[in-house]
Amino acid sequence: MAKALITFPEPVSEALLTLERDNVDASALLSKGADWLSLTRISDTQYLASIPVKGNFAPNLTFSVLYTRHGQYSFQNAGISVAIPKIDVTVRTDKMRYQPGDIVNVTVATTVQGKPVSAHVTAGVVDEMIYALQPEIAPTIEQFFNHPRRNNVRTSSSLSFISYDQALSGMPGTPGRANYSARSVKVLERARRENVDTAAWEPTLTTNAQGVTTFSFRMPDSLTRWRLTARAQNDAGLVGETKQYITSDKPVYLKWSGPRLFRRGDKPTLGVFIFNQQATHQQVEFYANYAGNELHQNVTLRQGANYVALPTTPLENGIWKGEIRQNGKTLDALSINVQLVDENWSEATNAAIALSEGENPLYLPPTASHISLRFTNTPRALYQSILDNLLDEPYGGVLNTASRLLPLGVAWPQLQKGDAQDVAGLRGAIQNNRLRLIQMAGPGARFTWWGEDGEGDAFITAYAYYADWYASQALGLTLPDDHWSRMLELYSQQADSMPLLQRALVLTFADDMHLPVLTLAQGVEASFAQDINIDEMNIPATDSLVMAEPSSALGDAVARVLIYQLLQQHGHQLDAHEQLMLQKSQTLIDTSEQPFAQAALLRKATTNGEQIQTLLRRIAPNQPGLERALSLVWLSGALKNSAPVSGPVVQSANWRKQTDLDGTPYWQWQGAGVPDSVTVSGVDDAADALVTLTLPQGEPAPGNKVAKVEIRHQLLRLVPEDEELTFHLEPVNDGNVTSDALYLDRVTLTATGDAPLAWGEAQVPLPPGADIESTTWGIKIRQRHQAEDEAVSLTKENHESGVLHYMIPVKSLQGERTFSHLVRFSQKGTFTLPPIRYQQTYAPQNVVYEAGGVKNLQVR
């Protein structure tokens, strides 16, 4: 029974009494009452209302009193809050502390008011450090379903009474303190050898009539505290949740202290940390094995981290193994795959081979590194191989990001039929690349090359929109039609100055997106030349036809093919001259070295799997990402009606099986040197395979053009001054740096030709363990012997992190430009560094190297 004392400011004999929420649920007059309440008159100005509480009052209802006097009215509201029974969820584990690899048995029990009840339960086990980095903002399940409802009944003058803010709990009580973790918690040393943030996910558990269910999972090889969250709901609509914590821990464990990737000739000072989680000192034996050298050492462990230096040995590709023993028992063991790359620049490439049952010889170059093997005996396998290479591309410009996103979105209908965990990873890749793309959009949702300031580029903008269109469909997002039409607005402004190939591609994108393009396509068709020069010099497959040579005869031929395909789709009949030009264009494309151009011929053609497979084999990792991505889109028929099949298996030692993001298996070589052979099983006939390897590219190959650029490099140490965050610079001339100092890496590029160089990139080597500082905020540089007020703030330059290097995108180079980046060196030792390399991104044969060749750098 709910009771309300009504007090009027003056004697009142009549008033309107109502129960309200989404509507007026009940009403009565003060003078007459009603069956839903009883009224007791206390005085002329006071009444006591007794309201029997019913089930439909939950979670709350508003009791309102209104009266009129002298042509005016007054009202007052009071809430009736009804307690809703909740499901009490209990989570029990067989113990509270586990070691990696242990099986965790979890029992979930559900009760209501002490009585067992059957309920549907969703349970998850997540690394608690996720919530240290990003506090959870979701309300509890009780708050979500049973929060106080607002009163939606309005009068002509009433205000909007909002009684629930989803950012705060709607339950009684004072607001809780801010949910954040201190930095000391975030930087705790917790070894994670498996990249797993979710140890278990059970979305469809159901407790039995006794209110009990169980599940089990293997504890990942990550030392951390895990949060078990169980949320329950039964058929009556009651809900509840609980949290429980367990810990994965080891009393003693090993942690590798340095990088795992080095160049040949590097001499790092390596070591490991042994963490002792116990309060007392421990006597242990430390064993290590690497490159044929064994180490046995007795170590006294203090509580916390204990550093053990490793002996200096020549580096080689292979596994470093470490083990800690105590009284003959292994406390922890660790394996690290140490990899070497050439001391000079390298480039990834493919080699197609045929493998038969048993042992197969491999004739690989002795300087090869990063060797992997995958079977490509189906078009689907080849398609996924190229897709995986695109996903592994290092840089994040607009074209790079869109080239990763586009084939993922196109292939999503087929890829989502795979394993649930693989599908979740692919969906995450789509979301992350789409978010990266959105972040680079400029004013008016237009795109430049690398998200830099400036007017948007019509082709780059259209390509980004095209990738986003497929990604939005894959994610189930619906965007208004006028959003997509923005790409054609920019195209209309810049079309007259665009090459025909880029214009044709933009209209092809727009047609796939169901935008009106027929009139625009007729405008491109009218701009074609009356004849084609089929004797033009061929363009290498490593050069981008779209970005480097769009106005070439081959570029115009591809544009003509695409436009004629588009016009024919819309009912246009080619006349005799158009058919002749189309035939000449096809002939020029057939004789070219560009797989992208040949994929354009198959875009709307009826082809068999063998044609697609032949063309897919010609697409290599060293070809431009934009062309590879569009080729995959046009050849996506390779995935239709093509179910995954079980392929051959590598049986040789030192070939480690791994899986790509989409779950496709491949084998990575982890032995010393270069493999001489590989043994496979499960092969009926010869199986097609693709070996991906990295080869050194230290000097321009014969026939390469040398870019007209001079490169100067200077490394400067930042020496602190008295004023906070103010430094002066000292040049490093002897090649010696320290791990506790901050340095300025200064690269100066000078174009020696008259014409500006477009779409360039400078690749600057870094030793293992070195990193570019992510910010320059607050740092000021003062020239020595100058007044204090002449300190200049350091400007942050754009860059992209790569493997043992960073890359500076240079959209246009004319005259001299200087780029400065802050760098720290964390790994001690002596390291070899290749010369800085500048090349045109979409014509990588146009390359120049810093004078002086390979250099040495010593970090102390």
**E strand or H helix at 285, and its extent?**
strand 282-290
The residue whose two tokens read 């189906």 is 378
Alpha helical stretches, state H, 530-671? 553-569, 576-590, 595-601, 609-616, 625-634
Cβ 28 vs Cβ 67: under 8 Å = no
- Rounded CA-CA distance 108/46 in Å is 52
Q: Which of 473-477, 686-690, 842-846 has the lowest mean pLDDT?
A: 686-690
The CA distance from 694 to 345, in Å, is 10
Residues pairing with 41 in the sheet: 47
pLDDT, tens digit (0-9, with 9 covering 90-100), for 579-601? 999 999 998 998 888 899 999 99
Please check the confidence at residue 162 and state whether its pLDDT lies above 80: no
SS3 496: helix
Which helix or strand (DSSP H or E) is residue 438 part of? helix 420-439
pLDDT in tens, 23-70: 999 999 999 889 999 999 999 999 999 999 998 888 899 999 999 988
Tokens in use for 463?
Answer: 């390509």
CA atoms within 13 A on the CB side of 248: 31
Query: Per the structure block, which two tokens stand in for 645?
Result: 């099949």
DSSP string covering 830-843, please? EEEEPPPEEEETTE
Q: Is the peptide bond before 59 cis (omega within 30 degrees of 0)?
A: yes
Mean pLDDT, the chain, integer: 87
d(CA 722, CA 508): 61
Banded model confidence at residue 636, pLDDT cuts 50, 70, 90? confident
Q: Within 10 A of 43 (CB to CB), how many other CB atoms are there?
A: 9
Q: Region 412-417: what's the mean pLDDT?
A: 80
Q: Under a CB-based contact definition with an 8 Å cutoff, are residues 505 and 631 in contact?
A: no
Statement: residue 180 has pLDDT above 60: no
| pLDDT for residue 167 | 47
Nearest Cα neighbor of 344 from 770, 674, 696 is 696
CA 444, 445, 450, 456 dihedral sign is negative
pLDDT score of 704: 53
Q: How many CB atoms lie within 10 A of CB 291?
A: 14
In the chain the domains, ranked by start, together with CATH numbers, are 2-81 (2.60.40), 87-150+189-248 (2.60.40.1930), 252-341 (2.60.40.10), 377-483+654-693 (no CATH), 709-859 (2.60.40.290)
- The residues near 413 (Cβ < 8 Å, ≥ 6 apart) are none
Label residue 166 by pLDDT band (50, 70, 90).
very low
Rg of the chain, C-alpha, whole Å: 34
Grade residue 643 by pLDDT with cuts at 50, 70 and 90. low
Q: Which of 282, 330, 337 is nearest to 306 (CA)?
A: 282
Dihedral Cα 650, 655, 657, 660, nearest 10 deg? -110
| Cα distance between residue 757 and residue 838, in whole Å | 11
Q: For the ranges 169-173, 380-384, 840-844, which has the lowest average pLDDT?
A: 169-173
Dist CA 500 CA 450 (whole Å): 23
User: Distance (Å, rounded) from C-alpha 470 to C-alpha 474?
Assistant: 6
Separation CA 740–CA 334 (nearest Å): 28
Average pLDDT of the segment spanning 362-383: 84
- Average pLDDT rounded to a whole number, residues 304-314: 91
pTM: 0.78
Other CB atoms within 10 Å distance of the CB of residue 24: 13
* Size of the chain in residues: 860
Q: Which of 193-207, 214-228, 365-379, 556-570 shows the lowest per-residue confidence on average (mean pLDDT)?
A: 365-379
Residue pair 75/66 in contact by the 8 Å Cβ criterion: yes
Residue 556 pLDDT level (bands cut at 50, 70, 90): very high
How many angstroms separate the CA atoms of 860 and 858, rounded? 6
Backbone φ and ψ for 12, nearest 5 degrees, come out as: -135, 135
Residue type, 730: E
β-bridge mates for residue 805, sequence order: 765
* Contact criterion met (CB below 8 Å) for 267 and 302: no
Q: How far is CA 22 from CA 51, 149, 292, 532, 588, in A?
A: 19, 9, 78, 73, 71
DSSP calls for 720-745: E-SSTTEEEEEE--SSEE-TTS-EEE
Q: How far apart are CA 838 and CA 764, in angstroms?
A: 9
Which residues are bridge partners to 665 per DSSP?
659
Q: What is the arithmetic mean of pLDDT over 819-832? A: 94
> How far is Cα 463 from Cα 449, in angstroms, rounded to an integer?
11
pLDDT at 736 over 90: yes
